[in-house]
């Protein structure tokens, strides 16, 4: 079983329009609502592939009820921790050419008692000895920036490896405290973490190795349309995915992480192949829709071990 925790989940609302024009009245062709939030999406993607998973998340208000219903409809096992605030709705606008614009809301604050209840729900999940704990997404206000460090300590006590996908202060705090089995920043998040631009493959690999030096095991850096780099101490691997016609990039990173974790007992390069295949498949689907097994083509992913450090990422 893979346990995910999403402290700030959302109902993802997507509006599909022809082209976004500021200041105009635009009519949406399609409006959809899907369960969202980073760990929630990892669980949804794993569930579509028959991988056992459980999603822990706080829920409140009418959107919280809708989120719980959406997860139940999708057959995703969830532990919903009740909170007094209302779960957020994040808005995505997708245009015909695949341009995706996201408007993320900060979400409800969690009280200390609600934060403790969330931690207790994770503890209960950890007692079931999951093969991974996935800690993902932004932290709601009221939750201290070291929340993921606290989670990682609890997981370590049970010998459960932790995969982290977040940004800003929560990423920096957890990454610097070490002991994470996997971090999944995108190129921009890694660059922000290290405080410098990372235009080449060599820049990303050496930046990720700096993060490994803080006591972490592996870094999966997703590069949007340019694929992904997996960096471990001994080797790094570059994966370039198939060309896809993008429809919505929302949830691509979450599906990449799910693909990486789904590949049981596989060599690092095969885990990376799976990550990029799942991410590319997600981009071809509308809204926050997660791909199923028929939509994924791992054979279309090209992998290079210890790639040329001089390669420029935006030219890949
Ligand atoms: N425009 C795109 N075309 C093809 N694949 C894409 C595109 N955008 C993202 N992907 C795939 O999804 C993965 C995750 O995307 P990325 O944007 O880096 O993550 P995040 O959603 O976390 O920002 C990439 O590694 C790639 O495999
Ligand atoms: O917690 P954050 O950083 O606000 O992100 C939440 C949003 O990110 C998503 O999880 C999508 O994430 P990715 O596009 O990075 O895979 C949405 O479902 C959700 O609306």
Task: Concatenate the DSSP letters of all residues of 244-260 into one string.
Answer: ---S--TTHHHHHHHHH
pLDDT in tens, 8-66: 999 999 999 999 999 999 999 999 999 999 999 999 999 999 999 999 999 999 999 99
pLDDT in tens, 186-231: 999 999 999 999 999 999 999 999 999 999 999 999 999 999 999 9
Rg (CA), the chain: 18
Chain centroid, CA 285 distance in Å? 16
Cα 11 to ligand 2 centre (Å): 10
Catalytic annotation, residues: 254
Closest CA to ligand 2's atom 6 = 37
Stated as kind and residue range, the H or E segment containing 237 is strand 236-240
**What is the number of the ligand 2 atom nearest to the C-alpha of 8?**
1
pLDDT for 258: 98
- In whole numbers, what is the pLDDT of the chain averaged over residues? 97
C-alpha dist (Å) from residue 66 to 35, 73, 168: 8, 10, 29
Place of tokens 């932790």: 162
Closest CA to ligand 1's atom 19 = 253
pLDDT for 96: 92
Furthest-apart CA atoms within the chain: distance in Å: 55
Closest CA to ligand 1's atom 13 = 279
Closest CA to ligand 2's atom 13 = 251
What are the phi and psi torsion angles at 280 (to 5°)?
A: -65, -40
What's the CA gap between 128 and 121, in Å, rounded?
12
Q: What is the 3-state secondary structure (H, E, C) of 9-68?
A: CEEEEEEECCCCCCCCCCCCCEEEEEEECHHHHHHHHHHHCCCCEEEEEEECHHHHHHHH
Place of tokens 């999403």: 6
**What is the number of the ligand 1 atom nearest to the C-alpha of 187?**
18
Tokens describing residue 208: 């990720």
Place of tokens 């939509």: 295
Closest CA to ligand 1's atom 4 = 225
Q: Answer whether residue 266 shows pLDDT above 90.
A: no
Task: Concatenate the DSSP letters of all residues of 156-193 into one string.
Answer: HHTT--EEEE--HHHHHHHHHH---SEE--BHHHHHHH
User: Where in the sequence is the domain holding 254, given as residue range(s)?
Assistant: 2-315
Cα 164 to ligand 2 centre (Å): 13
**What is the number of the ligand 2 atom nearest to the C-alpha of 6?**
1
Ligand number nearest to the C-alpha of 260 = 1
**What is the number of the ligand 1 atom nearest to the C-alpha of 279?**
12
What's the CA gap between 314 and 316, in Å, rounded?
6
Number of domains forming the structure of the chain:
1
Residue 83 beta carbon below 6 angstroms from any ligand 2 atom: no
- CATH number of the domain at 262, please: 3.40.1190.20
pLDDT in tens, 274-310: 999 999 999 999 999 999 999 999 999 999 999 999 9
Residue 37 beta carbon below 6 angstroms from any ligand 2 atom: yes
Confidence of residue 98 (pLDDT cuts 50, 70, 90): confident
ipTM over 0.95: yes
Q: Answer whether residue 265 shows pLDDT above 90.
A: no
What's the CA gap between 166 and 160, in Å, rounded?
19
Cα 133 to ligand 1 centre (Å): 22
């Amino acid at each position: 079983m893979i346990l995910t925790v999403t402290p700030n989940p959302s109902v993802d609302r997507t509006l599909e329009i022809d082209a976004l024009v500021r200041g105009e009245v635009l009519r949406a062709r399609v409006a959809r609502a899907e369960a969202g939030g980073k760990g929630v999406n990892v669980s949804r993607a794993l569930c579509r592939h028959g991988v056992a998973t459980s999603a822990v998340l706080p829920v409140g208000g009418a959107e919280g009820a809708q989120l719980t219903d959406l997860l139940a409809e999708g057959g995703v096992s969830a532990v919903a921790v009740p909170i007094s605030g209302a779960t957020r709705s994040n808005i995505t606008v997708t245009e015909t050419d695949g341009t995706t614009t996201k408007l993320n809301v900060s979400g409800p604050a969690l009280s200390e008692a609600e934060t403790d209840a969330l931690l207790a729900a994770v503890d209960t999940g950890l007692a079931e000895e999951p093969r991974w704990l996935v800690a993902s997404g932004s932290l709601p206000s009221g939750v201290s920036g070291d929340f993921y460090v606290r989670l990682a300590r609890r997981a370590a006590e049970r010998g459960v490896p932790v995969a982290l996908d977040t940004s800003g202060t929560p990423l920096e705090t957890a990454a610097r405290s070490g002991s994470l089995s996997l971090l999944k920043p995108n190129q921009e998040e890694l660059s922000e973490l290290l405080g410098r631009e990372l235009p080449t493959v060599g820049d990303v690999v050496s930046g990720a190795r700096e993060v490994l030096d803080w006591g972490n095991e592996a870094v999966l850096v997703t590069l949007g349309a340019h694929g992904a780099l997996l960096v471990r101490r001994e080797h790094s691997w570059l994966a370039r995915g198939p060309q896809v016609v993008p429809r919505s990039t929302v949830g691509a990173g979450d599906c990449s992480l799910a693909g990486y974790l789904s590949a049981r007992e596989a060599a690092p390069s095969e885990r990376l192949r799976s990550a990029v295949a799942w991410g590319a498949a997600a981009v071809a689907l509308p809204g926050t829709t997660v791909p199923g097994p028929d939509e994924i083509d791992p054979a279309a992913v090209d992998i290079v071990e210890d790639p040329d450090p001089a390669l420029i990422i935006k030219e890949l």
